[in-house]
Amino acid sequence: MKEIFKKLDKNLEYVQDTMHADLSFDVLTKTFLIGDKRAGMICLDGFVKDEFILILEQLIDTQREELSVDVIQKILDKRIPYYEVSTANTLEDCVDQILAGPQVLFIEGETKAIVIDGRTWMSRGPAEPELEKSTRGPNDGFVETMLFNVQMIRRRLRDPEFIAEVMKIGNRSKSDVAVTYIKDIADPGLVDSIKTKLKKINVDGLPLADKTIEDFLTGNTLNPLPEVRYTERPDLVAAHLLEGKICVIIDNSPTALLLPAVFFDHVQSLEDYRQTPLPGTYLKLVRLAATVTSLFLPVLWLLVALQPDLLPSSLEFIGPKKTGTVPLGWQFIIASLGIDLVRMASIQVPNALATSLGLIGALLLGDFAVKVGLFVPETILYMAIGATSNFAISGFELALTIKLLRFILLILVTLFKVPGFIVGTVIIIGLFLFTKSFGISYLWPLIPFDWNALKSYIFRQSILDLSHRRPNIHSLTDADRYPEDNKE
């Protein structure tokens, strides 16, 4: 580490050379006098607040007699009326601070530098996330600035036990990553484990921000089941923090990571909780049924269509009246690929063309394929039911996984019929049984069984019914969400 020189020009030269100020137009240097001492400030253009000029005026108005001894401390105490001010002892630290946005002040004859965080934050306004809409509730969502995202959570959790620990990750990017949790609710062992994994990350940068962090936290695995839940809603994060979860927020990303995240976390939606208990329970059960329907309904119909002898005589009407030009199994495989192509194309095209794309997918890939005899109507019907059910799954990552597992089952049934279905189903069940999300069974609270937690996932309960335990597998210091004496 290089100590700060007493010579101002040496400090400025070192920082300018390190940051290639002769090549980068946005590295700014300003020299002036503080009392009778020369001073120099270095910062990045575009990161400085307009009000920062007031701090410079205060510094320039400093009198010589004010700087007789202990210059740095006197300037901090009397001339910089600002909250976020600190000192730096090495030139490397100064460079890191400048690249992060703050301004660094060097003073002739001093071996410390003053760091003034007078940054302005470039950010869009909070808006409701496209993937997590709700008919009721707040319409704010996370933005790309980590500080603002933490502020949105603090507005909802005015609790001194709410902790937001920040660390820098990336040898070149030095991205800010915040680990947030409620100290007396979250499992301390899990919190330490997450922080340890983050500190061990040794990479140039975080080009995909949240996804890069997820890869390091979960490890290099072929398991398609999502072990973290993505969200852009601060109210959803607040609710999960109260359940003992941990939230990781990455600067430059509007998406936060919630962990651990089990299967039932991915099929929950805020929309269910915005309703009264009875309608909310209905929506929860429909959503769970949609998950099973999306995975198995098209596969089961294909199986009985390929082997009609599996159906009793009373259900013979389920089979297709005609088979079409393309073999039935391949019809489902092609239709599944067609639906995914339309979905992928809809992401790429502008909103103005999305309606046209939907018409092309429905008419050309659906209706015309039936009319010319390539597909049978039942193929389009059951794949449409499966696709619609898939859209009802709240967790986008789990929905993609369910779609992938269904596609694999369709291939196995097409090639091997009943044996393929049995083997594929056993593999899928085993995948759910043996997967863990940060040490927690993926099917918790079903396996291991915890009725108090399970009923809070399956049934929409009033807060008055959540007095016994928080829905968390860990032992908690504060286990009551609604203490019994509050009911009196």
pLDDT tens digits, one per residue of 268-312: 888 888 888 888 899 999 999 999 999 999 999 999 888 888 877
The residues spanned by each domain of the chain are: 8-116, 146-261, 273-440
Q: How many CB atoms lie within 10 A of CB 392?
A: 18
- Strand locations in 187-271 (E): 229-231, 246-250, 256-259
Residues 405-435: tens digit of each pLDDT: 999 999 999 999 999 999 999 999 999 999 9
pLDDT score of 67: 75
Report whether pLDDT(465) > 80.
Answer: no
Note the pLDDT of residue 488.
47
Q: Would you say residue 164 has pLDDT above 80?
A: yes
Residue 486 and residue 193 in contact, taking contact as beta carbons nearer than 8 Å: no
The reported pLDDT for the residue numbered 468 is: 47
Strongest mean pLDDT among 45-54, 72-81, 235-244: 235-244
How would residue 469 be classed by pLDDT, with cut points 50, 70 and 90? Answer: very low
How far is 212 from 119, CA to CA, in rounded Å?
Answer: 26
Task: Judge whether residue 471 has pLDDT over 60.
Answer: no
How far CA 377 is from CA of 335, 363, 384, 400, in Å, comes to 12, 13, 11, 25
Nearest one of 74, 45, 44 to 58, comparing CA atoms: 74
356-409 pLDDT per residue, tens: 666 666 656 667 677 767 788 888 889 889 999 999 998 899 999 999 999 999
Share of the chain above pLDDT 90, in %: 51
Q: Is the pLDDT of residue 349 over 50?
A: yes
Least confident of 17-26, 215-224, 470-479: 470-479
Name the average pLDDT for the chain: 86
Q: What pTM was estimated for this model as a whole? A: 0.87
Count H helices and E strands in the chain, helices first: 18, 12
Q: Shortest CA distance to 392 belongs to which of 478, 269, 308, 484?
A: 269
What average pLDDT does the segment 44-69 reach?
A: 81
Identify the CA nearest to 114 among candidates 66, 145, 78.
78
Q: How far apart are CA 304 and CA 224, in angstroms?
A: 28
If you average pLDDT over residues 66-70, what whole number do you get? 76
Exposed e or buried b per residue across 377-390, where buried means at least 16 C-beta atoms within 10 angstroms of its C-beta: bbbbebbebbbebb
Q: What is the pLDDT of residue 148?
A: 93
Write down the pLDDT at residue 302.
Answer: 92
Residue 244 predicted with pLDDT over 80: yes
